[in-house]
Amino acid sequence: QSALTQPRSVSGSPGQSVTISCTGTSSDVGGYNYVSWFQQHPGRAPKFMIYDVTKRPSGVPDRFSGSKSGNTASLTISGLQAEDEADYYCCSYAGGYIYVFGTGTKVTVL
Amino acid sequence: QVQLQQSGPGLVKSSQTLSLTCAISGDSVSSNSAAWNWIRQSPSRGLEWLGRTYYRSKWYNDYAVSVKSRMTINPDTSKNQFSLQLNSVIPEDTAVYYCAREGYNTMDVWGQGTTVTVSS
């Protein structure tokens, strides 16, 4: 099972919006609505920000949103803030009772 | 509030067995709605899902193809924890290992991580 493809880095100024893509196949991202997104600050465990493609767990700001089209899922951060600078990973159920993660994207707040 | 506390050695010699434990508080390893996962992270491989154990009237295990022949995940109901054993380790198994609860169709609660180095 290959890792999902994400851009290595994206950047934006405070207040701007950035979007991170996560490209898989019809066997993972495209086949199931079980895409989630994680935020990871240096030295910390990942924190889940989005699940089931679009849903936000309690406590996650509504400026984080998720979507999916075909084999590509996306995470959008609106109104970028300094504390959003982190690594972001997507994850998808891939059938056969397994999960696959994305390659990770570093978000830089300029 | 669910918390996961990992324990285990940070240094393992090549060809030996890596063993880690994840103690659960605030939930049960025998829960009928959760699953208990192991994930690792390294600079070369990124985040890699390794496997899980869960109870649905009986115990089930699922493993990633990449480690299936070498990995065992076991629940311990008496201590409310679960463990990972990875046999015949090689330097490429060097990584930060995380345990995580699977809820909401994803890993919603993570352990603190254990840095494991495999020495050659």
User: Which residues from B are below 8 Å from A45, CB to CB?
Assistant: 98, 110-113
Give per-10-residue mean pLDDT for chain B (120 aa): 95 97 97 96 92 96 93 97 97 97 91 95
User: Which residues from B are below 8 Å from A104, CB to CB?
Assistant: 46-47
Where residue A2 falls among pLDDT bands split at 50, 70, 90?
Answer: confident
Q: Is the pLDDT of residue A98 over 90?
A: no
Instruction: Give which of B112, B45, B50, B109 is closest to A102, Cα–Cα.
Output: B45
Q: Give tens-digit pLDDT for A59-94.
A: 999 999 999 999 999 999 999 999 999 999 999 999
For chain A, say whether B3 makes contact (Cβ under 8 Å). Answer: no
Q: Which residue has the higher pLDDT, B9 or A96?
A: B9
How many whole angstroms separate alpha carbon A110 and alpha carbon A74? 21
In whole numbers, what is the pLDDT of chain A averaged over residues?
95
Tokens of A86: 């982190």
CB count within 10 Å of CB B9 equals 11
Residue to test with chain A: of B97, B104, B106, most A Cβ within 10 A: B106
For chain A, say whether B72 makes contact (Cβ under 8 Å). Answer: no
For chain A, say whether B47 makes contact (Cβ under 8 Å). Answer: yes
What is the reported pLDDT for A7?
97
Q: Is the pLDDT of residue A1 over 80?
A: no
Look up residue A54 and give its amino acid. Answer: T
DSSP-assigned beta bridge partners for residue A48: A38
Q: Is the pLDDT of residue A97 over 80?
A: no
